[in-house]
Chains A and B, each alone.
Chain A
Amino acid sequence: MQIERNPYSTCFTAPGKLPFIFPAPDQPERLLAEFERLGFQGQIVGPHGCGKTTLTESLEPYLESRFPTIKRITIRTDGDVSGRIKENGIKNSHPSTLFVIDGIENMSWLQRRIFIKSINRMAGGLLLTTHRAIRGVPVIYQIAPSFQIFSRIVSLLSPDQPIDQQLLKQVFTQNNDSIRESLMSLYTIWEEDRQRFIPVRDTQSAQL
């Protein structure tokens, strides 16, 4: 028996696995132009689970032509930093390095100030993601999650398994418009449905 793949598994929904979906077609070009105009300094603002990391991952291929080195750093909610920053991070960086920092709002005000100042001195670019805008770095894009975008993501993940729009709306609302949490809920719903239908399918295949 081959295992059925749940289309909402993390391996399909993690940042970078899906394309970022813009509400309007010309927004990627405008965003990149704005980032360049501002000297490659900017922050992407949006609520939890709306696709900020996915957007930075999607931008990477276009930024690689300008920045051969892109360093990704994640600041976790407890303030811990993941990514190579202490060993050979800032000190060895130079203007061809772009720092992409996820969750900058998790740093204290003072830490953040020192951190951004040192990166500005050493690196060629700084792209931040944050739940709320921080001072000193221009906002280049504000993500507003919408049901339309969530529905489009679901159709990309499971094009052959259309889901009732009413159910999708319910899931999206229950998860406070968080795309990530809504996809997690769909994972559970898919598993529950599968368990409900497997005995039927097993019986059918046994009869053939």
Chain B
Amino acid sequence: MENRSNRSGKKLASTREKFYPVDSSSSATGNQAEGSLTDPTLEVGFEDDIDQFLPGDFLRCEYTVNLLPEHEIQAIETSVIWMTEGKGDTDIGVHHFERRPKQALTPDTFKQPQRISTVMPASPLTYDGNILKIRWCIRVRLFLPNAHQVTHDCFFSLGETKSFSKITEEIQPDSTATSD
């Protein structure tokens, strides 16, 4: 077979932390956004710490970007999204989206908390099923040089959330009731 490794002078990048040996003691999980200690950090919080909303409610939250002097932010994207989780593929719907490019970012952007606000829609409501779950979140994404990103998700619920077992309890007739 033809050896084509010399077709280009470019070499492969060296392997880093993406691979794990089987006996490694590190505890990285797929649940966390990737990031390193030297990345900017994000804090997101709801007004009055309220993280439960009803359709038509006004959602208000704030986020703060903590930067070091060497950090360079290319853009900030904020969105209010819903997503499905479960055994199948993940669906995502965007309810609110805002992108602030580098030109729109001022020193104040990083000194003061920035506000996100939107009126919540009628659906889809937060749902906690066995096979499928619907979750809402506020996603703040920082775009750094070299296509690097820092993302923070802050979850909340829309509508009155009941567990699957509670719903089944409610729709099942009372087993203690006697009939004639």
A interface vs B, CB < 8 Å? 1-7, 9-14, 17-25, 27-29, 32, 36-41, 58, 61-66, 95-96, 124-125, 138, 146, 148-149, 152, 155-159, 184, 187, 191, 195, 198-199, 202
Per-residue contact bits, chain B 1-36, to A (CB 8 Å; 1 contact, 0 not): 111110110111111101111111001111100000
Q: Which residues of B contact A66 (CB under 8 A)?
A: 8, 10-12
Least distance between B115 CB and chain A CB atoms (Å): 23
Q: Which residues of B contact A61 (CB under 8 A)?
A: 13, 16, 18
Bound: A4/B21 CA distance, A: 30
B21 near A155 (CB under 8 angstroms)?
no
A3 near B130 (CB under 8 angstroms)?
no
Who on chain B is nearest to A4 by CB? B128
The one of B8, B52, B87 in contact with A9, judged by C-beta atoms closer than 8 angstroms, is B87
Least distance between B30 CB and chain A CB atoms (Å): 4
Who on chain A is nearest to B133 by CB? A3
Bound: A6/B133 CA distance, A: 9
Least distance between B148 CB and chain A CB atoms (Å): 12
Who on chain A is nearest to B88 by CB? A10
Check B93 for interface membership: any CB of A closer than 8 A.
no
A37 with B3, Cβ < 8 A, contacts A7-B29, A21-B21 known: yes
The one of B4, B23, B27 in contact with A39, judged by C-beta atoms closer than 8 angstroms, is B4
B31 near A152 (CB under 8 angstroms)?
no
A2 with B51, Cβ < 8 A, contacts A61-B13, A62-B15 known: yes
A124 near B7 (CB under 8 angstroms)?
yes
Counting residue pairs across A and B whose Cβ atoms lie within 8 Å, the total is: 147
A198 near B165 (CB under 8 angstroms)?
yes
Q: Which residues of B contact A40 (CB under 8 A)?
A: 4-5
- Add 8 more A-B contacts to A2-B156, A11-B90 (CB < 8 A): A10-B90, A19-B20, A20-B18, A24-B21, A38-B3, A62-B14, A191-B130, A195-B165
Bound: A52/B53 CA distance, A: 42
B20 near A21 (CB under 8 angstroms)?
yes
A10 near B22 (CB under 8 angstroms)?
no
Bound: A13/B53 CA distance, A: 30
Q: How many interface residues does chain B have, given as a range?
A: 35 or more
Who on chain B is nearest to A159 by CB? B27
Bound: A198/B16 CA distance, A: 41
A3 with B10, Cβ < 8 A, contacts A22-B19, A155-B27, A187-B87 known: no
The one of A1, A6, A20, A152 in contact with B19, judged by C-beta atoms closer than 8 angstroms, is A20
Bound: A62/B4 CA distance, A: 17
B22 near A156 (CB under 8 angstroms)?
no
A65 near B13 (CB under 8 angstroms)?
yes
B22 near A152 (CB under 8 angstroms)?
yes
Who on chain A is nearest to B128 by CB? A3
Q: Which residues of A contact B24 (CB under 8 A)?
A: 152
A65 with B86, Cβ < 8 A, contacts A12-B30, A148-B22 known: no
Bound: A66/B165 CA distance, A: 53
A65 with B85, Cβ < 8 A, contacts A1-B163, A12-B31, A38-B1 known: no
B21 near A25 (CB under 8 angstroms)?
yes
Q: Which residues of A contact B164 (CB under 8 A)?
A: 195
A199 with B30, Cβ < 8 A, contacts A2-B51, A19-B19 known: no
A65 near B22 (CB under 8 angstroms)?
no
The one of A2, A14, A64, A125 in contact with B13, judged by C-beta atoms closer than 8 angstroms, is A64
